Chains A and B, each alone.
Chain A
Amino acid sequence: MKRVRMRRLKVEKRTNPSAWTVFCISLVSILLAFVVIGFIFLGFGINPLEAYLEIIIETVGNSYGLSQIVWQSIPLLLCGVGLLLAFKTSFWNIGAEGQLLMGATAATWVALFSPLPEPFLIPAAFILGFAGGAVWGLLSTSLRSRFGINEVITTLMMNYIASNIVLYLIHGPWKGETMRGFAYTDQFPESVWLPTIGMSDIHWPTLLLGLFAAVCVFFILNRTRLGYEVKVVGQSPKAARYAGISYFKTIFYVMVISGGLAGLAGAGEVLGVHHMLRHSDQVSLGYGYTAIIVAWLARGNPLIVILTSLLFGAIYVAGDVLQLSFNLPFQIVNVFTGLILFFLISSDTLLKHKLSFRKGE
Chain B
Amino acid sequence: MEWQLWVIETLRRALVYGTPILLGTLGEIYAERSGILNLGVEGMMILGAFVGFTTAFVTKNPWLGFLAGAFVGGAASLLHGFLSIHLRVIQVVSGLALTLFGLGLTGVLGRGWEGQPLKASIAELSVPGLSRIPVLGPILFTDQNLLVYIGIGLAVLLWWVLFKTSWGITVRSVGEDPRTADALGINVALVRYCCTFIGGLLAGLGGAYLSIVYRPSWTQGMTAGMGWIVIALTIFSLWHPLVAIGGSYAFGSLFYLSFRLQPWVAPELLTIMPYLFTILAPLLLHASRRLRRRMGAPGALGLPYRREEE
Contact = CB atoms under 8 A, between A and B. Distances in A.
Given A92-B92, A157-B225, A161-B275, A332 B282 contact: no
Contacts of B107: 329, 331, 334
B156 to A, nearest CB: 27
Given A2-B309, A346-B87, A349-B89, A338 B101 contact: yes
Interface residues on B, range: 35 or more
B104 A94 contact: no
A355 B111 CA distance: 43
Interface stretch (A53-61, A71-79, A146-154): A146-154
A160 B228 CA distance: 11
B97 A338 contact: yes
A295 to B, nearest CB: 11
Contacts of B269: 164, 168
Interface in A329-353: 329, 331-339, 341-342, 345-346, 348-349
A149 B269 CA distance: 24
Contact of A345 (B93, B220, B232, B266): B93
A296 B286 contact: no
Contact of B108 (A143, A152, A331, A348): A331
B101 A160 contact: no
B282 A292 contact: no
A22 interface: no
Interface string B82-118: 0100011110111011111111110110010000000
Contacts of B283: 143, 147
Contact of A333 (B99, B102, B104, B220): B104
A342 B268 contact: no
A345 B279 contact: no
A153 B268 contact: no
Given A153-B228, A161-B276, A167-B268, A334 B100 contact: yes
Nearest to A166: B268
B271 interface: yes
Chain A interface bracket (under 10, 10 to 19, 20 to 34, 35 or more): 35 or more
A160 B275 contact: yes
Nearest to A289: B100
A147 B79 CA distance: 32
A273 interface: no
A266 to B, nearest CB: 18
Contacts of A148: 295
A126 B89 CA distance: 38
Interface in B210-259: 220, 224-225, 228, 231-232, 235
B2 interface: no
State the main secondary structure of chain A at its contact with B: helix
Given A40-B108, A153-B231, A334 B279 contact: no
Contact of A332 (B90, B108, B266): B108
Interface in A159-179: 160-161, 164-165, 167-168, 171-172
Contacts of B108: 40, 328-329, 331-332, 335
B278 interface: yes
B282 to A, nearest CB: 5
Contacts of B104: 331-338
Given A171-B268, A338-B97, A150 B105 contact: no
Interface string A90-120: 0010100000000000000000000000000
A327 to B, nearest CB: 9
A197 interface: no
A341 B28 CA distance: 22
A296 B94 CA distance: 12
A158 interface: yes
Q: Which of A139, A149, A154, A296 has the most CB of B within 10 A?
A: A149
B39 interface: yes
Nearest to A349: B87
A165 B266 CA distance: 11
A145 B230 CA distance: 22
A156 interface: yes
The 4 closest A-B pairs by CB, nearest first: A334-B104, A331-B107, A338-B101, A338-B100
Given A289-B100, A338-B101, A349-B87, 7 more contacts: A147-B282, A153-B235, A157-B275, A335-B104, A338-B97, A338-B105, A342-B83
